[in-house]
């Protein structure tokens, strides 16, 4: 039963755009298998990074901040960012710049702007740069610490890791989950650093479930009648509204359920 009072609300934002960000390979096709499977509607935009992989260099790109600028220019309405490895750092920085427009984040095998050495990750950059001598020098030296800012991201975040990834092991995903307020972590069996490409079916299913998830706040009155008070994309929003309602002098029963898909 829906609540007949004016309290009922649905806190949901349908994304208009889905932005796919590759890692340092710059492979513009990396996310296409997942994109082809996803059922969520929205314009799908696949990025490449100038000077990385198949994308020619651009003299205006002189650092990560310039790549972030390319992404934020495309966040013109409610958007989902789906990102792998280096692309995850860019996605986080872009979200911090446009927090009101990014509705969801999906991060796979990324550093998340943290110190990976302390989390047991392999130092892959020397070998990678040796194998890709034309890549920009600033990439090899780039580092950023976002740990103090991650807690400000008040949106749902899906973290996807592989259990066979020495570059960004599951311990990195676990640390990110502890720092992000609304994060859910899945570790995929047999997943490597490229799990987004290699396990496209499983990854797409998890992303679809993540984007469709909502939380329902219910109320039961003194006569045992149940009412749906509101539906929220973030569980904490439902919990905050329930806390507000429960301070009323006349107590009623409130609870939160994950909505059925």
Q: Mean pLDDT over residues 98-117, rounded?
A: 89
Question: pLDDT (tens digit, 9 = 90+) per residue, 64-81?
Answer: 999 999 999 999 988 999
Q: What angle do CA 100, 109, 166 make, to 5 degrees?
A: 160
Q: 3-state DSSP helix/strand/coil percent for the chain, to nearest 5?
A: 30, 20, 45
pLDDT of residue 1: 47
Longest dimension (CA), the chain: 73
pLDDT for position 215: 77
Between 118 and 204, residue with greater pLDDT: 204
Q: What residue ranges in 37-154 does DSSP mark as E strands?
A: 43-46, 79-84, 102-108
The sign one gets for the Cα dihedral 107, 96, 211, 220 is: positive
- At 5 the pLDDT is 42
Q: Which two tokens stand for residue 231?
A: 């539906």
Are 100 and 78 in contact by the 8 Å Cβ rule? The answer is no
Q: Which helix (H) or strand (E) holds 233?
A: none
- Answering whether pTM is above 0.85, one says no
């Amino acid at each position: 039963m829906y609540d007949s009072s004016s309290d009922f609300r649905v806190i949901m934002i349908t994304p208009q755009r889905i932005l796919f960000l590759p890692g340092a390979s710059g492979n513009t096709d990396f996310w296409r298998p997942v994109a082809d499977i996803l059922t969520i509607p929205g314009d799908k935009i696949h990025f490449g990074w100038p000077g990385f992989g198949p994308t020619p260099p651009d003299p205006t790109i002189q650092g990560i901040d310039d790549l972030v600028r390319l992404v934020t220019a495309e966040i013109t309405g409610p958007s989902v960012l789906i990102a792998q490895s280096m692309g995850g750092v860019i996605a986080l920085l872009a979200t911090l710049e446009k927090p009101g427009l990014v509705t969801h984040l999906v991060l796979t095998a990324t550093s998340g702007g943290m110190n990976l050495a302390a989390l047991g990750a392999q130092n892959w950059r020397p070998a990678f740069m040796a194998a890709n001598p034309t890549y920009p020098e600033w990439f090899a030296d780039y580092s950023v610490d976002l740990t103090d800012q991650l807690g400000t991201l008040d949106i749902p975040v899906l973290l996807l890791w592989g259990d066979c990834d020495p570059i960004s092991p599951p311990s990195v995903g676990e640390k990110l989950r502890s720092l992000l307020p609304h994060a859910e972590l899945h570790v995929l069996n047999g997943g490597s650093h490229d799990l987004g490409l290699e396990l496209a079916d499983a990854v797409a299913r998890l992303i679809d479930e993540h984007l469709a998830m909502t939380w329902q706040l219910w109320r039961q009155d003194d006569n045992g009648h149940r009412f749906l008070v509101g539906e929220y994309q973030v569980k904490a929003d439902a919990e905050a509204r329930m806390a507000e309602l429960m301070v009323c002098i006349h107590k009623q029963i409130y609870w939160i359920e994950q909505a059925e898909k």
